[in-house]
Chain A
Amino acid sequence: MVEHVQNINNAVVTLDVALPGIIWGWMITLNMWAKSIATGVVLVGGYLFFRYKDEKGGVPGIKTIIPIVAFIFLNIFLLFTLLDLHQPFRMINIFLHPHFTSAITVGAWMASALTGIIAYMSFLVVVKKNTTGLYETLLKWAIFLSVPVTMYTAVIMGQASARELWQTPAELIQMMLAAFLVGSATLAFFSPKWSKEAKRDLAIILGMSAFLSFTIYMGEYFLSWKLAEAEATMAYVHSGGEYNMLFWAGQIIGFILPAIFSFMATRNGSAPLLQIAAILSIIGLYMAKHVWLVIPQLLSLS
């Protein structure tokens, strides 16, 4: 439990009610993680498709990979969003009684639209076997929608005024980097037959995303805070409290090692090295996201 950074006159709470535990837990982490993979595959895959579609070798199979992988992970994301609700059958109220000042509402509408587009793209690929014309138009719309769908969770965290640790500008950037990180990592598993240039691009995106994510986390971890509750939360992690180990494990597995391995892969074009970086980043991102989600909830608000 995070507590007292400025204990006044030996003040001690001697009677209070029981406090809620972790309100948003692993299901929300899984939600963010799966969404990052889905939108990341669309964003990075879309870039690779439009960049290399006319080149020899290029990125074979990308037209199938993008909608199928995105569809699977968008559905994981939506499933756990639903399961985390205390009244899941009332989810329909978001569409029947929407309140558009809430990022939850805006996000739900955009994520639903994106899922619809991706579902239709999957239909075109699997059933119609037609990936020209309409498919490419839908892909452009999917790329366009993937940006706000990636970032809206950061806006929700920004609206969660009780958790000072979640700062909107930093979280927005972290969400985008997370999508690029695990999007490129997921695509790395399909990349062995892709051109050397496409693989190098994947490695650069993965490595840069990992490096920048790590840099921002370190900035937030070590540089001084101007908000008392955020300061108290970080001081608790600094002092070796709960989640200290998981925080550093997430940083090392999710960002440091993938950054090193993917930069090495850009130099020698090693597909196995890129895939090791990919596996590590997918696992490590979950850990890093989970710690960042949970630690501000350790703070007593009253």
Chain B
Amino acid sequence: MKLGFLVDLDLCMGCKGCEVACKVENEVPLSSWRLRVKYVDQGVYPDASRTFTPLRCNHCEDAPCEQICPVSALHYLDNGIVNVDKSRCIGCAGCMMACPYGAIYMDPETNTADKCTYCAHRIEGGLMPACVVACPVEANIFGDIEDPLSNISQYISKDKRVQVRKPEKNTKPKHFYVGGGQAQLNPLAATREDGYSLFSNITHLKHIGKAH
């Protein structure tokens, strides 16, 4: 069994239900996120549009974070999940430097690295990840990518638009996207103007290094 995630960006409406559910389920501290929804605006008025892209750990088959972790705090589970053992983490931040997707954060309360685990604790009990349950439009599709009959495998085999983030990194992500394009998945393809995001002018975390 190899668990994977697929987000249908055509369905996602940016409600952030998944983000909130993840926060609550995993008691993610303030100023930290395991899963977040990025808004990207494209085009020029009146021909403008807004897209929504949930971003989380990609649970790569060749995970750079697992390789660089000096104490195996980041490790693979048999079902393919890249899990974190917070009690072992020394807080060297090597994983944060290695993850090409910026999916790992330093928990300001425990001073250890943390990230999305596909809700490994829920899966162990036969439950779906919290974000999957919370999604009102079933844009988050989760399941066994080695089972050809699973919903996610059907999606991957039928939809020609399935893609992963940064395939050139050769990390073999197990997190897929349908719909969307470079502007959503490639950070270099969209302008990120400091201080001009909707709702917030806080652009950098102060508890991790200095702002720049």
Give chain A's interface residues, CB within 8 Å of chain B: 1, 3-25, 84-88, 90-91, 93-94, 97-99, 101-105, 108, 156, 159-163, 228-229, 232, 242, 297-302
Q: What's the least CB distance linking B168 to chain A, in Å? A: 8
| Alpha-carbon distance A160/B195, docked complex (angstroms) | 28
Query: Inside 8 A of B200's CB, which chain A residues have their CB?
Result: 15, 18
Query: Inside 8 A of B91's CB, which chain A residues have their CB?
Result: 85-88, 90
Give chain B's interface residues, CB within 8 Å of chain A: 31, 33, 36-44, 50, 55, 64, 67-72, 88-94, 96-103, 105-106, 111-112, 165, 169, 171, 181-183, 186-194, 197-200, 202-206, 208-212
Asked whether A8 lies within 8 Å of B210 as measured between CB atoms, the reply is no
| Alpha-carbon distance A135/B44, docked complex (angstroms) | 74
| Alpha-carbon distance A300/B103, docked complex (angstroms) | 11
> Which of B44, B72, B89, B197 contacts A10, CB < 8 Å?
B44
The 9 closest A-B pairs by CB, nearest first: A86-B91, A301-B102, A15-B39, A11-B183, A11-B190, A21-B209, A22-B209, A104-B70, A86-B111
| Alpha-carbon distance A103/B67, docked complex (angstroms) | 9
Asked whether A7 lies within 8 Å of B190 as measured between CB atoms, the reply is yes
> Which of B31, B69, B206, B209 contacts A25, CB < 8 Å?
B209
Q: What's the least CB distance linking A31 to chain B, in Å? A: 11
Q: What's the least CB distance linking B32 to chain A, in Å? A: 9
| Alpha-carbon distance A105/B94, docked complex (angstroms) | 11
Q: What 4 additional pairs, Cβ within 8 angstroms, besides A13-B39, A19-B205?
A: A11-B183, A14-B197, A17-B36, A21-B205
Asked whether A24 lies within 8 Å of B190 as measured between CB atoms, the reply is no
| Alpha-carbon distance A90/B73, docked complex (angstroms) | 12
| Alpha-carbon distance A102/B97, docked complex (angstroms) | 13
| Alpha-carbon distance A87/B33, docked complex (angstroms) | 21
Which chain A residue lies CB-closest to B111? Answer: A86
Asked whether A20 lies within 8 Å of B187 as measured between CB atoms, the reply is no
Which chain B residue lies CB-closest to A155? Answer: B68
Indicate whether A3 sits within 8 Å of B188 (C-beta atoms), given known contacts A14-B197, A16-B39. yes
Asked whether B194 lies within 8 Å of A7 as measured between CB atoms, the reply is no
Asked whether A301 lies within 8 Å of B188 as measured between CB atoms, the reply is no
| Alpha-carbon distance A229/B36, docked complex (angstroms) | 22
Which chain A residue lies CB-closest to B16? Answer: A15
Asked whether A15 lies within 8 Å of B38 as measured between CB atoms, the reply is yes
Query: Inside 8 A of A86's CB, which chain B residues have their CB?
Result: 90-93, 106, 111-112
Asked whether A21 lies within 8 Å of B204 as measured between CB atoms, the reply is yes
Q: What's the least CB distance linking A163 to chain B, in Å? A: 6
Asked whether B208 lies within 8 Å of A20 as measured between CB atoms, the reply is yes
Asked whether B198 lies within 8 Å of A15 as measured between CB atoms, the reply is yes
